[in-house]
Chain A
């Protein structure tokens, strides 16, 4: 556009064209940004707005983004219902346990991948990447039998154990990537000083790897917090249900409690959103490192 006819135009005129073109471009970029923001953000805004409405106003015609009868009633009713509070407690207990266990196992494995040469390394690597492709539904059928046989059906342990199959591959890939960015001399110097290899990992590598560990932790927490299929199938009673299943249970029990469902959705989204806002840099860095560059 700017270079379509450069030879005939005089200099001042050309500068003007360039400026108009830049303004036009800027307008175009902003219009696209705002359209994009509407596409991405309006549904979420609607979720938040609906959570402050009375259930009778959910389908008010015409719809209102901000209701005059603004109220926290839906939130109060979620917080005062022990069954619903329990959904959140379950989700937190499970997600945090999965995160801690995944970190421990993944840090040990990543240390082996990053700092040692051993037989079968390349094969194990391929297996770990391949595992990410296995459909959850394929695992669910044997898990069902396995979990029942191990008497872990409808327990925290059953969910924690099965979730780790999803969280570990990422965590190992991301953690290995992070360790690889740290110079080997760091831990090898410690080894020369007589520290065991575990000591070098625990006292040297782990403390300086906090950014990497945080990004793995955030990502792991998010996978565990969001899981649906296993939670649906491997638990049975309300006292073991997690938030994603709990929200679904609100649907169609009596009538649709839309405001409560939206309040629970907002509350259910907050942990991941907060983690994202605080650790945005780690999060995106870790995600692209893990997913793009295995």
Chain B
């Protein structure tokens, strides 16, 4: 944090900044105005963030230490009881495990597919127009609303749907499969759907990163007789490392919070096989009206996200 050298202004002063710094006497007013002006410009966002972020977070933390919040006018302080209940709930552990698998596999696949597509689109063997056309096609899943993606994949993966037809025609499966309701297939199915929905986010950023790598680096490597793989591992990957870390951290944060895709396809089922922390918390709050316990679960999710955010901010700082 860069501490300003000027002491904070104490006198009340018009929010409107002073007159230009033309003459010497006007200087003081200008600098005072200049010091106060930014707070004026930040006032709307400060009010909104106070009402929409700081206050709600304080409220949810408070809820998590009470009993019967929201539904009952009298709620009692119960200390850590809600947290103990959540952390010892086997379903919470299942949800944590599912979220970890879902997030880990999704982020890895997003990275691999995103990098693959970005490198294709950066290939010197393709013309500009070809690149634009394919970039638009590749980015399309990311432009669809998650609710639409969920409905679309329910249609695609329906037992009588086109994916089952395709897999049966090539002999990969014997009969129709209900992907979203088979115990051992539901989690892979929602993961595949989420991979499809999210890889363009990596692709777009990695493509920008690839275009920023100096051609000299590749030429130098080519002169040294480096193979494609060596160039990939010694030039491409190291150059993209900062972007990859940023994207992966953001993707872990967001994927671990994914709600609509799960809610609209499996709803956490069958038999909690796709229960995620988000759906678990949502059900606690809005199906079972256990707002206090749901708040404890929501605070745990918040803590995890904030730890990841700290890594993200540190990484960003290190890059700048």
B316 touches A194 (CB 8 A): no
Measured CB to CB, the nearest residue on chain A to B30 is A191
Total A residues in contact with B, Cβ cutoff 8 Å: 103
Taking each of B33, B148, B263, which has the highest tally of chain A beta carbons within 10 Å of its own beta carbon? B148
Check A193 for interface membership: any CB of B closer than 8 A. Answer: yes
Decide yes or no whether A13 CB sits under 8 A from chain B: no
- For the complex formed, measure the closest distance between the CB of B255 and the CB atoms of chain A, giving whole angstroms: 11
Give the distance to chain A from B203, nearest Cβ to Cβ, in Å.
Answer: 10
Most buried by B among A37, A124, A135, A247: A135
Q: How far is the CA of A73 from the CA of B286 in the complex (A)?
A: 37
Is B24 engaged at the interface, CB distance under 8 Å to the other chain? no
Binary flags per residue of B133-153, CB closer than 8 Å to A gives 1, else 0: 010111111011111100111
B152: chain A residues at CB < 8 Å are 43-44, 46-47, 262, 265
**Interface size (B, Cβ < 8 Å)?**
103
Separation of A288 and B33 alpha carbons in the complex (Å): 35
**Which residue in B17, B125, B247 is a CB contact (below 8 Å) of A29?**
B125
CA distance A124 to B48 in the complex (A): 13
Whether A108 touches B257, Cβ cut-off 8 Å, given contacts A135-B305, A244-B148, is: no
Question: At the interface, yes or no: A162 with Cβ under 8 Å from chain B?
Answer: yes
Report yes or no: A269 in contact with B155, Cβ–Cβ below 8 A: no
- A133 & B146 in contact (Cβ 8 Å cutoff): no
Using Cβ atoms and an 8 Å threshold, which residues of chain A touch B151?
247-248, 251, 261-262, 265
Contacting pair B63 A142 (CB below 8 A): yes
Mark the stretch among A75-83, A112-120, A207-215 that contacts chain B. A112-120
Least CB distance from A26 to B in Å reads 5
Q: Is B105 an interface residue (CB 8 A)?
A: no
A8 within 8 A of B: no
B143 touching A143 by the CB < 8 A rule? no
- The answer, yes or no, to whether B11 is at the interface (CB within 8 Å) is no
The reply to whether B147 and A141 form a contact with Cβ atoms under 8 Å apart is no
Assuming A131-B49, A164-B48, is B145 touching A43 (CB within 8 A)? no
Across the interface, which residues of A come within 8 angstroms of B80, CB to CB?
Answer: none
Which residue among A146, A197, A261 has the maximum number of chain B CB atoms within 10 Å of its CB? A197
Q: State the CA gap A139–B301 with chains docked (Å).
A: 11
B306 proximal to A (CB < 8 A)? yes
- B301-320 interface code vs A (CB 8 A; 1 in, 0 out): 11001101100110010010
Collect the chain A residues with CB atoms within 8 Å of residue B34's CB: 116, 197
Q: Are A122 and B1 in contact (CB under 8 A)?
A: yes
Known: A43-B156, A165-B52. A135 touches B205 (CB 8 A): no
Question: Which listed residue, A25, A43, A145, touches B59 by the CB 8 Å rule?
Answer: A145
User: Counting chain B CB atoms within 10 Å of each CB, which of A40, A112, A172, A248 scores highest?
Assistant: A40
A-contacting residues, B1-58, CB 8 Å: 1-4, 8, 16-17, 19-22, 33-35, 37-39, 41-42, 44-45, 48-49, 52-53, 55-57
Residue of A nearest to B158 (CB): A59
A117 to B31, CA, bound (A): 11
With A and B bound together, what is the CA distance between A294 and B319 in angstroms?
Answer: 10
CB of A253 to closest CB in B, whole Å: 14
Shortest beta-carbon distance from B73 to chain A in Å: 12
Within 8 A of A (CB), among B60-86: 60, 63, 70
Interchain CA distance A225-B64 in the complex, whole Å: 32
- B155 lies within 8 A of A58 (CB): yes
Q: Is B285 an interface residue (CB 8 A)?
A: yes
CA distance A46 to B166 in the complex (A): 13
On whether the beta carbons of B143 and A269 are closer than 8 Å, the reply is yes
> How far, in whole Å, are A142 and B294 apart by their CA atoms in the complex?
11
Residue of A nearest to B261 (CB): A228
The answer to the question of A106 belonging to the interface, with a C-beta cut-off of 8 Å to chain B, is yes
Query: Does A108 contact B41, Cβ atoms closer than 8 Å?
Result: yes
Q: At the interface, yes or no: B162 with Cβ under 8 Å from chain A? A: yes
Is B179 positioned at the interface, with any CB of A under 8 Å from its CB? Answer: no
- The one of A44, A164, A245 in contact with B52, judged by C-beta atoms closer than 8 angstroms, is A164
Residue B185 at the A interface, CB < 8 A? no
9 nearest A-B residue pairs (beta carbon): A244-B147, A133-B309, A142-B56, A116-B38, A112-B38, A59-B160, A112-B41, A142-B59, A228-B260
Show the binding face of B for A, using Cβ within 8 Å.
1-4, 8, 16-17, 19-22, 33-35, 37-39, 41-42, 44-45, 48-49, 52-53, 55-57, 59-60, 63, 70, 116-117, 120, 123, 125-126, 130, 134, 136-141, 143-148, 151-156, 158, 160-162, 165, 196, 200-201, 204-205, 208-209, 225, 227-228, 243, 246-247, 250, 253, 257, 259-260, 263-264, 278, 281-282, 285-286, 291, 294-295, 298-299, 301-302, 305-306, 308-309, 312-313, 316, 319
Instruction: Please give 11 more A-B residue pairs, beta carbons under 8 A apart, in addition to A268-B145, A287-B204.
Output: A40-B141, A61-B165, A121-B2, A123-B1, A141-B294, A162-B52, A222-B143, A225-B145, A248-B151, A265-B144, A292-B247
20 contacts across the A-B interface (CB closer than 8 A): A40-B141, A43-B141, A46-B156, A47-B148, A118-B38, A121-B38, A135-B305, A142-B56, A225-B145, A226-B147, A229-B282, A247-B147, A247-B148, A247-B151, A261-B151, A265-B144, A269-B148, A287-B205, A291-B246, A292-B243
